[in-house]
Structure 1
């Protein structure tokens, strides 16, 4: 997130319109801000690529509320303030013998920001980052502190975790932890596109976390396959069953296992800040989706720096793209040419329409809002929950009005 004459997001492709910016240090300060403001939203590190975190009046950053509050060794949980980043939390947990089940591609994002937008990593059995949440604290639109727990408030909890920032200010989260573990990363280059399609299920089940990278410039090859494997005696890979004779193998990081919080994020150069769009589809539609996107490669090559394909396990959160379905995610890192991007992405929207593709809540969205709304069967319940927590609509912005309530246009990007 960059401040200057105008506040911008991490990638620099979106300019916020807020008049005031608040940095509270305590829950009490958050309550005071909520009660005195008419309209406001919460920003993490500004790693969204659209107007989901925008507001034309007040913004709150929780960057000063970034402490680890406690570790419960009996329940295997950690409780943190919502503004802590995964990069900070990862190092802390590992030093105490603990880990998280997964991380996003970039570690420098806040826990609350990732949770409320269903941000994900990769892995057949790994749910998005919100699935680690067992308790959360929210300051609602009245300025009241509300505590929700997975095992006690299951109905509200399932609607509140992936809230898109609409319920209020998330101030505290309790996450499930696991014993710390090491990850080894291996890389295959220039795989046959045909071989990948024929063996997609085996490839994604061959390691703890798997990513395919495609630049759509080559006619018949996948750029890279990254396998991130847990270092444990019982872990076995079925990759040897797949014909990868056309691929070149290179062991990234010299094959040296490192702690989970160092290997699961990709750690791309922080200067490579680009816009991003992503489509989440039912797992069964993965091969068909790649085939249809390949047919658009001549259009994609000028606007897409790299495409990453991952898998995510199902969850039970109402507004999660992975609600009750295992998914495949197709992510596009975009060059900063919005006039061209705005022409190409609708082509992707259309070709994936019959495959039930949903956009990622925090990335560039060009899909018609009514189509997005139609994909969430629990949307009516979510609207009622929003109105219950925030009856005056303090946390409603153009994004929520468009994609949740069906009112008015939304600012998407200014790449």
Structure 2
């Protein structure tokens, strides 16, 4: 746990030096909010050390710096849509939910979204954030182009197919300040959400593929000591997935009229736009539990059941500090630092209560239990991996380090976090 990891005492971010959940306080002596690429370039040129900061959804010192933090929240250049190429270019600080509304109004869509529509596009893609779906790549796989300010202040552009492009998409802020992102789009579509209850852990562990292959996007929510999971959320794409079954692996579809959290997107099998169904939470509401500390690990999908059994051995230590666990799947990709790089993936996410001392005491044991399965941590969430462990699970980490060092020879974007992980 870093010196700036905070404990109880407030709900959510209290100042512009806190992350979204109030669980990390940034130490950078200077925070700037540039509105133009030219301002970003000036700040990069005049700062010995600099780092980009998105919507503050990271839970560690990953985006911190000893110099200037460039928050991209005002880099919200109006989207430009190329319908022929099926691509949209958008400012780095734009939130996914805002872009989603804009695209749907024009008849277009993204292939996937994360749980929270509040996250910035550049920050989410740079850290390998994902939604769920056996056949769906993480959010970063939709990136077809990046514009960024390099350490000498020059504005550079790179696109899919260019040398090293796959090393830059999930770039964890290590090579420059991304100012705009180009994403693939497709014609808009509708989705329905259905909730199932009564799925036992035994049924889940017997055949995870039956559950996670049941719809376009599937999430399982659970505590670890109970015999039964909390719920299964199926997001079915209209015209692609068939009718929602009454049962899945013994779990029953929730009856109409069930109480839904006020912050949640509409459930109960009511079809609606992808933009209002793929995220779990509404853009106009406080997401998740607000005051929390998150950790997440990615294992090869074929090892899901064994990895879950290993984690359940710690149920008596996990559940007292846990808000909820979410289980999801993603498809393999070619991005060097993606959690799904070169392998279909099963994601085990923990939303912990804000009890950092207990959580950070637990994580090394969880990580040791998951080590035989090649577990990778989410770049933006809590973990205790060091450089040796990162190199062990990401075969291309050294290649990424060489790329980042070449693009940033003066070390402007180096910080303590990236040094600890061995990627700078």
Query: Could you state the TM-score of these two structures normalised by the residue count of structure 2?
Result: 0.91
Correspondent of 1:346 among 361, 364, 371? 364
Aligned with 2:90: secondary structure?
strand
Describe the shift of the 1:295–1:188 C-alpha distance in structure 2 as closer, same or farther (beyond 3 A).
Answer: same
Q: Does 1:236 align with 2:270?
A: no
Gap change, CA 1:243 and 1:361, over 3 Å in 2: closer
Partner of 1:157: 165
Q: Which runs of 5+ in 1 are unaligned?
A: 407-415
Q: Which runs of 5+ in 2 are unaligned?
A: 1-11, 257-265
The answer to whether residue 414 in structure 2 is matched with residue 396 in structure 1 is yes
1:319 aligns with 2:345: no
Counterpart residue number, 2:233: 226
Q: How does 1:6-405 map to 2 (within 5 A)?
A: 7-151=17-161, 153=162, 155-218=163-226, 220-232=227-239, 234-236=240-242, 242-244=248-250, 247=252, 249-250=254-255, 253-267=267-281, 269-270=286-287, 272-405=290-423
**SS at 2:320's partner residue?**
coil
CA RMSD of aligned residues (A): 1.8
User: In structure 1, how many angstroms separate the alpha carbons of the residues matched to 2:182 and 2:24?
Assistant: 31
- 1: CA distance between counterparts of 2:156 and 2:388? 31
Give CA-to-partner distance per residue, 1:318-370, whole Å, 9 cap, x none. 11121110100000000111121122121211111101111100000123442
Q: Name the CA distance, whole Å, in 1 between partners of 2:316 and 2:140.
A: 36
Give, in whole Å, the separation in 2 of the partners of 1:243 and 1:147.
Answer: 48
| 1:3 Cα deviation after fit | 5.9
Deviation at 1:56, TM superposition (A): 2.4
Alpha-carbon contact 1:117-1:163 (below 8 Å) kept: yes
* Counterpart Cα distance in 2 of 1:273 and 1:132: 30
Cα deviation for residue 263 of structure 1 reads 0.9
Other structure's SS at 2:152 match: coil
Equivalent-residue separation in structure 1 for 2:253 and 2:142 (angstroms): 36
Measured against aligned partners, the alpha-carbon deviations of 1:222-247 in whole angstroms (never above 9, x if no partner) come to: 11000000111x42369678541x64
Counterpart of 2:85 in 1: which secondary structure? coil
| Conservation of the 8 A alpha-carbon contact between 1:188 and 1:250 | no
Q: What is the CA–CA distance in structure 2 between the aligned matches of 1:344 and 1:193, rounded to whole Å?
A: 22
CA, structure 1 residues 259+405, in 2 after alignment: closer, same or farther (shift >3 Å)? closer
Distance 2:317 2:197 in 1: 23
Q: Please say if residues 132 and 329 of structure 2, whose CA atoms lie closer than 8 Å, have aligned partners that are also in contact.
A: yes
SS of residue paired to 1:53: coil
2:51–2:68 CA contact under 8 A, matched in 1: yes
Distance in 2, Cα, partners of 1:57 & 1:135: 28
What does the per-residue CA deviation read over 1:44-63, in whole Å, with 9 as the maximum and x for residues that have no partner? 11000111101122100111
Q: Contact 2:385–2:421 (CA<8 Å) still a contact in 1?
A: no
